[in-house]
A and B are shown apart, each in its own frame.
Chain A
């Protein structure tokens, strides 16, 4: 079917027809496009040769990034209540929302008079985690956050990357707001 008949055969107004580019002689030659690209590369090369301080790279790890904002999705943490107990009520919303199913919770009865329920164990497998932040969005208790600013987690074996409840509670927020806003 030619391009024209295909377009005319589409009747539904919900379908958007995208015009195809690249059929002109200039596009088919490729050389003008390659020239444009090489021009940009060389422009940067000469600018950087002139002034090496202006290069947009970090001497990591000696030099640490300074542009991590509060919206940056770093390593997870579990928040506390005002009395330092865990804010999480083990509702499984994060585990339900998680697209990579890397949150493993076991719930138990809570005895300290706050809510009825708390996590007995809470594991996040950060090797499976894709850091999408859905768990933070889903949490009705502001109990899980990704505001630690930690962007690098290292370990010697796979098990080191499975964070348990105590490790997650020990992570501190990098931007204040230590206590859960929803449960305190």
Chain B
């Protein structure tokens, strides 16, 4: 650990590590500094020149992203001179920018727009009418669309493929105003983390083909959640919106920074898992494959529990929230049922990699283990009550509490998916994390805890 020293920024004193990057301090202390190319996960590149600050004793403005903090440093981040420098650099960026914000998906979360409102608002000094033309809407592969005209050449995407995924698909070719981002000849962007470049891109050059044109970002509401794709438990934002007269719909998952778990990124499979969450959902209560009233189905369930006393097997999905699993353990005790959660089905060695993907594709299997729930396959089943476990079991009677539509059973109850419910998860590294309730459906399915209360009453 390097020593902590005092540094003065805009005549206020801050504590910082000797030799750390100045821009990290500015970001941490929420001092306004514009930047395109710097990213905490990718380090300094120093090509966009937006993060200029004045340092006492230096003749010219310096870039904060490549300046190391030294003792007795005095920094000015918002003097008149610096604001003018930033305006001028922004004007350079905008010379060939197509300014097609109306059709650009990034509008609303675009750094170029934000910085223009903060530092630009200038009358351009450029009198050239024709802007340099490049390719628009190039399909790079892996659901990523490239617009070379909107690019500010910050090289975040190329550095991502170089430093993070080590796949080196992207590069900047050409010089001057002919410079553009492109894939290497004959190659496509193809790696399991490719869509992170869409989040990394500060402007609308890289957009997601999956999210493109579906919704303007300022309509979206954001909730904190945790991906249920595997046991890693990557932190995500759920972006959803309830349009007038319509139902609440999830439009995308975005990675949420958590240095202890996933850092800045998530895998593409997890990012696109929001689709499965919304498709083919079980919405009604079924008795012998026919829709039925809630109290009739609950009466049937109570009768079955009464008839099969001591011969009931409860199956628990290892993706449920800890709160739900604990409620089910208590419920199993009260009806003297045996509790199983077969974990073998979740194992997928092909999915595993050395970044974020785990071979254990159950978000909360750690809780199943912590609560000492039997993880083997149940034998000799009379009455099976399955709480969203992906397997079907041989039994005299099977009752399903399920989020998604599945095979024929005596009784089927719809339950809320994780996005429609709040709770906790414990990931494979034993870190407990919270999921907020994101989606508020017009006709919400009850959660497992709500169903258990109904069964008991």
Contacts and interface: CB of A to CB of B under 8 A. Distances in A.
B100 A115 contact: yes
B137 interface: yes
B244 A91 contact: no
Nearest to A110: B103
Given A107-B214, A117-B213, A93 B244 contact: no
Contact of A109 (B107, B213, B218, B244): B213
Contacts of B137: 116
A115 B100 CA distance: 9
A89 B101 CA distance: 10
B213 A108 contact: yes
Interface in A71-121: 89-93, 96, 101, 104, 107-109, 115-117
Contact of A93 (B100, B102, B212, B214): B102
Interface string A107-139: 111000001110000000000000000000000
B216 A96 contact: yes
A24 to B, nearest CB: 53
B218 A89 contact: no
A149 interface: no
Given A96-B216, A116-B136, A89 B103 contact: yes
Contact of B244 (A104, A117, A141): A104
Given A116-B136, A116-B137, A91 B102 contact: yes
B213 A90 contact: yes
A117 B103 contact: yes
B218 A115 contact: no
Interface residues of A, number: 16
Contacts of A96: 216, 218-219
Given A104-B244, A116-B137, A141-B102, A92 B216 contact: yes
Nearest to A92: B216
Nearest to B216: A92
Contacts of A91: 101-103, 107, 216
A91 B430 CA distance: 45
A93 B243 CA distance: 15
Contacts of B136: 116
Interface in B416-441: none
Given A90-B213, A109-B213, A116 B244 contact: no
Contacts of B107: 91
A182 B218 CA distance: 24
Contacts of A115: 100, 103
Contacts of B212: 109
Contacts of B216: 91-92, 96
Interface string B269-313: 000000000000000000000000000000000000000000000
Contacts of B218: 96
A107 B213 contact: yes
A39 to B, nearest CB: 52
Interface in B102-150: 102-103, 107, 136-137
Nearest to B244: A101
A104 B107 CA distance: 19
A77 B136 CA distance: 30
A55 B218 CA distance: 52
A93 B244 CA distance: 16
Contacts of A107: 213-214
A109 to B, nearest CB: 6
Contacts of A92: 216, 219
Contact of B103 (A101, A104, A116): A116
Contacts of A108: 213
B213 A140 contact: no
A109 B212 CA distance: 9
Interface in B219-233: 219
A54 to B, nearest CB: 49
- Looking at B103, B107, B243, which has the most chain A CB atoms within 10 Å of its CB? B103
- Looking at B136, B214, B216, which has the most chain A CB atoms within 10 Å of its CB? B216
A107 B207 CA distance: 15
A11 to B, nearest CB: 33
Interface string B230-274: 000000000000011000000000000000000000000000000
Nearest to A104: B244
Nearest to A115: B103
Interface in B305-355: none
Contacts of B213: 90, 107-109, 117
Nearest to B207: A116
Nearest to B136: A116
Contacts of A116: 100, 103, 136-137
- Looking at A90, A91, A115, which has the most chain B CB atoms within 10 Å of its CB? A91
Interface in B88-109: 100-103, 107
Given A115-B103, A141-B102, 14 more contacts: A89-B102, A91-B101, A92-B216, A92-B219, A93-B102, A107-B214, A108-B213, A109-B212, A109-B213, A115-B100, A116-B100, A116-B137, A140-B101, A140-B102
Interface of B: 100-103, 107, 136-137, 212-214, 216, 218-219, 243-244
The 5 lowest CB-CB distance pairs between A and B, nearest first, are: A91-B102, A117-B103, A107-B213, A92-B216, A116-B103
7 contacts: A91-B101, A91-B103, A92-B219, A96-B218, A104-B243, A108-B213, A140-B101
